[in-house]
Amino acid sequence: MTSPWTEFLTREGALIEDNSIRFAATDAATPRDATVAVPLLHLGLIRCAGADSAPFLHNLLSNDVKKLPDDAAQWNSFNTPKGRMLASMLLWREPEGHMLALSADIHPAILKKLSMYVLRSKVSLGDAGPDTALVGVSGPGAEGILLAAGLPVAPTSMHQAASGTIRCIRVENATFVVAVPLADAPRIYGLLVGAGATKAGTSAWQLAMIRAGLPLITALTQEEFVAQMLNYEIIGGVNFHKGCYPGQEIVARTQYLGKLKKRMYRVHVSADQAPLPGADIFTPEFGEQSAGKVVNVAPSPGGGYEALAVMQMTCAEANDARLGSPAGPRLEFLELPYALS
């Protein structure tokens, strides 16, 4: 579906396909230390508005929405009753309720499923995509570029700053999500590029998220993982002191009974083609049996691909994991920006 926003991006040299965007003229030549501005077309938006927005979401998601401060943001998951993640979400407060950003390929189904729980709650759920655009800004100069463009900047990670109808969520130290009215998105994007940001596509944002250890559930990985497998309790996506929500019993049992056997790692693989999310990982210990799954993938500037991958912790400790088959390309383990407990 086209809009004035996507039409503007096409005029700017963007190639758009299947909720993904790339700039053929700049993506391949983007310096490693560049600060990029990425139209986040691969994310969909759900707006939850109304007096019961906080308690409604609180009863469905993994985090404590009721206690979320006005200037904060949080990671959340929406799970099956068996604790398997149907969606990962970035959630922040708005004047009339809350906004949720999630993978665009699961957005319609999740919106429909959440709507089934409304019943008598004083909330309305809707697709915010027709009126709101997201732009990601990431890199060493991100804060300075945002300020030069006249945009608000939150002082610390997982907080937001607002100026009029524009909201800027600081996901981590040098990575920001800017939410703007769709009609104003071309102007804001022009300001960011004019302030020094490099136009970049979806893969640049995915690489930033992989290096930050922040996973995104997509259609290919739904119902594959319990929250802790994706390090969600480490990045602040689970609250263990709130009341019940779908899958809460399994998530809590995993935490308190020490039954976690899989974790998410950051890896590099030298392969001819990008592995798909959901691709199997094999190790000698498990033979022909899959020991894990790829979560997210992006091209690495130095060649090959970087990925977030969930696998048996014993496999990671043995430092011998293969992509696709027991004889597939070997995975090189890379550092995450946080410690795995």
CATH of the domain at 325: 2.40.30.160
222 and 265: one domain? no
Task: Locate 99 and state its tokens.
Answer: 């906004």
Q: Tell me the average pLDDT across 203-230.
A: 97
Q: Tell me the average pLDDT across 84-107.
A: 97
Tokens 């979560």 belong to which residue? 295
Residue 326 domain-assigned?
Answer: yes
Which domain-ending residue is among 203, 227, 251?
A: 227
pLDDT at 63: 97
pLDDT range class, residue 214, cuts 50, 70, 90: very high
| Mean predicted lDDT score pLDDT of the chain | 94
312 and 221: one domain? no
209 and 282: one domain? no
Which domain-ending residue is among 179, 210, 227?
A: 227
Beta carbons within 10 angstroms of residue 10's beta carbon = 13
Asked if 168 and 146 count as a contact pair (C-beta separation under 8 A), the reply is: yes
105 and 162: one domain? yes
**Distance of alpha carbon 42 from alpha carbon 248, whole angstroms:** 28
Domain holding 122: CATH number?
3.30.1360.120
Flag whether the pTM goes above 0.85. yes
275 and 196: one domain? no
- The number of domains in the chain is 2
Q: Tell me the average pLDDT across 141-158.
A: 97
What is the span of the domain harbouring residue 95?
A: 1-227
93 and 140: one domain? yes
Instruction: Say whether pLDDT at 180 is over 60.
Output: yes
pLDDT at 259: 72
Q: Looking at residue 182, what DSSP letter applies? A: G
73 and 180: one domain? yes
Residue 303 domain-assigned?
Answer: yes
Phi and psi based region of residue 225 (left: phi greater than 0; alpha: psi -120 to 50; beta: remaining): beta
pLDDT at 302: 87
